[in-house]
Amino acid sequence: MFRFYSFFLFVCSLGAEPADWIWSGRYVITMDARRRVIENGAVAVRAGRIVGVGAKTEIDTRFQPQQRLDRPDAILAPGLINTHTHAAMALFRGLADDLTLQDWLNKFIFPAESKNLSAEFVRWGTRLGVLEMLLGGTTTFTDMYYYEDVVAEVAKEAGMRGVLGETIIGFPVADARTPADSLRFTETYLQRFHNDPLVTPAVAPHAIFTNSDPTLKAARALANKYNAPLIIHLSETRQENDDSLAKRHATPTQALDSLGVFQGRTVAAHCVWVNEADLAILKMRGVGVAHNPSSNTKLASGVAPVVRMRALGIAVGLGTDGPAGSNNDLNLFEEMDLAVKLQNVTRLDPQALSAAASLEMATLGGARVLGLEKDIGSLQPGKLADLIAVRLDRPNAVPLYNPVSQMVYALKAEDVRDVMVNGKPVVRDGMILTLDERQILRKAAEYRLKVSASLK
C-alpha cells in the first residue's frame, strides 16, 4: 500500500506546481474567513507568499516543493502580531518594578535612558527583544522607541516584520534635542525605508501629555505625507484622563481628534480610560487599538473595554508593551491567555471574551490594527508566508480536544518550534537561524553592568 501511495504521489508530481516549501502539521489553524482548522493539513509557499492551504494529501498532490517541513506533532498557525512594544528596552528588563506608571517613568526609566541610550544600546537591546519574540512565535512587532532606523536594521537582519515608529517627545532625548529635530530625523527615516518588504516606518508621538499641540499636528502631517502609520499612547491611566479633563475640558481621545491626529492611519496603545464618546471617535476614524493586558494589570492602570470595542467593530490587537517593567517579557502567548481572563473576571462572565477571539486579536485582529490584513494575519493563498509551528508533544499540550483553546490556554512561547517570515525560515527546532544568540546574551550581561553603574 505504501509503495502504491508513493508511486501515486510521484505520478501526480509530474504535473504539480512548483513550491519553495511545504509545511505540514497535525492541525492548521488558518484564521481565514471560515476560521477553518484543518486536521493533517499543510501550507505551500512560493516566492514569499502562501500558494496553497489544505489537507496534506491535497497539498502534496498539487505542489512539488524544493524543501519541506513535516511536523505531525505540531499546530501550524499564522505568525503572532505584537501591536505595541518598545523592544530595545529589553536591556532595562526588571530595572524597576511594582510602581505606578508615572513613578516608573519619571524616577527610573527616563533617568536610565538619559544616561545610557545610544544607537548601539538600541541595536543590542532590539536584538535581544527580537530574539525573544521570534523564538516565541511573534513574526511582526510594532515598535515605538529612539534610533528607530537602527531598530529597522535589526528587524531586517533578523528577518522579522515590523511597523516601527520613531518616538517624538517634548524634551531632549538621545537622538534628538528638540521635537523639530525628531521630526526631521523621522522624515529621513521614512524616506529610507519606504516600500521596504519587511519594515513599515511610522511616526510615533509619545502621548498627548508629552508633546505640544503643534508637534502633534506636525507628526500627523508628516505621517500623511508618506502614507505612514502614526503610533501613540492613548488614555493609559486615570491620571492622563483627569489631567486632560482639567486642562482641556476634554478626554485625550476627544482632544487628539480635535487636533486632527486621527485623520490618517493610527495605532493607539492602551485605550484603558475611554468612554462611549471616545469609542465612537475611534470607530469613526478607523483607529486601531493595541490592547496590553499584562502591562495594564502590572501597572494597575485599569482594564480596557475590549469586549465593547470589538462589539463596535473597532480593530483590536494584542501588545506586550515594553519589557522594562511595564511588562517584563515579550510573550504573546501570555497576552492571549490573560486577555480572556481579564475581560471575563472583570465582567463576571466566562463567555465575555473567548479563546477564539483572543487568538484572532493576536493574529488577524493585529493585522487589521496595523492596516496589513490583506498581507498577514491568516494562512490564505496570496498572503505573505508568516507562519509558526507549535509543538504538541509536551505534557502541557496533551490531551488535545480543541486546537484553538489549546493555543490560548495551554501552549506556551517555549513550545514554538519553527518560524517562517516572508517565506524564509528564521527559527528551526527552537533555534534562531538569523541572529547570534550567544553573543546577544553576552552583550545583555555587559549592558546590565553599565546600566547598574550609571544609576549609582
| DSSP states along 104-127 | IIIIIIHHHHHHH--HHHHHHHHH
Q: How far apart are CA 297 and CA 101, in angstroms?
A: 11
Q: How far apart are CA 228 and CA 220, in angstroms?
A: 9
Contact 384, 411 (CB under 8 A): no
CATH 3.50.50.60 given to domain 80-370: no
Contact 386, 407 (CB under 8 A): no
H helix and E strand count, the chain: 18, 16
Amino acid at 315: A
Q: How far apart are CA 299 and CA 92, in angstroms?
A: 16
User: What would the grid cell of residue 339 be?
Assistant: 486577555
Q: How far apart are CA 135 and CA 421, in angstroms?
A: 12
Count CB atoms within 10 A of the CB of residue 52.
18
Please tell me the predicted confidence (pLDDT) of residue 456. 81
CB-side neighbour CA atoms (13 Å) of 74: 21
Q: What end-to-end distance do the CA atoms of the chain give, in Å?
A: 73
Count CB atoms within 10 A of the CB of residue 382.
9
User: What would the grid cell of residue 176 be?
Assistant: 534628538
- Preceding amide of 399 cis, omega within 30: yes
pTM, to two decimals:
0.95
Count CB atoms within 10 A of the CB of residue 10.
9
To 10 degrees, the CA torsion angle through 256, 259, 264, 268?
-10
Count CB atoms within 10 A of the CB of residue 181.
14
Contact 384, 422 (CB under 8 A): yes
Count CB atoms within 10 A of the CB of residue 185.
18
DSSP character string of 343-405: HHHHHT-TTSS-HHHHHHHHTHHHHHHHT-TTTSSS--TTSB--EEEEE--SGGG-S-S-HHH
| CATH, range 8-78+387-421 | 2.30.40.10
Q: How far apart are CA 35 and CA 403, in angstroms?
A: 12
H or E element at residue 152: helix 148-158
The pLDDT tens digits along the chain (456 residues) read 445 444 444 544 557 999 999 999 999 999 999 999 999 999 999 999 999 999 999 999 999 999 999 999 999 999 999 999 999 999 999 888 888 878 888 888 888 898 999 999 999 999 999 999 999 999 999 999 999 999 999 999 999 999 999 999 999 999 999 999 999 999 999 999 999 999 999 999 999 999 999 999 999 999 999 999 999 999 999 999 999 999 999 999 999 999 999 999 999 999 999 999 999 999 999 999 999 999 999 999 999 999 999 999 999 999 999 999 789 999 999 999 999 999 999 999 999 999 999 999 999 999 999 999 999 999 999 999 999 999 999 999 999 999 999 999 999 999 999 999 999 999 999 999 999 999 999 999 999 999 999 888
Q: Is 448 exposed, middle or buried (0-12, 13-18, 19+ CB in 10 A)?
A: middle
Count CB atoms within 10 A of the CB of residue 51.
21
Q: How far apart are CA 144 and CA 151, in angstroms?
A: 10
CATH 2.30.40.10 domain residues, the chain: 8-78+387-421
Please tell me the predicted confidence (pLDDT) of residue 20. 98
To 10 degrees, the CA torsion angle through 243, 246, 248, 251?
60
User: What would the grid cell of residue 189 be?
Assistant: 527615516
Q: How far is CA 16 from CA 5, 7, 50, 60, 65, in A?
A: 16, 14, 16, 9, 9
Amino acid at 198: L
**Which SS3 state, helix, strand or coil, does residue 235 take?**
coil
Please tell me the predicted confidence (pLDDT) of residue 14. 58
In b/e form, how buried is each residue of 420-429, taking b as 16+ CB within 10 angstroms? Answer: bbbbebbbee
User: What would the grid cell of residue 51 be?
Assistant: 500558494
**Which SS3 state, helix, strand or coil, does residue 240 take?**
helix
CATH 3.20.20.140 domain residues, the chain: 80-370
Contact 270, 235 (CB under 8 A): yes
Q: Is 32 exposed, middle or buried (0-12, 13-18, 19+ CB in 10 A)?
A: middle
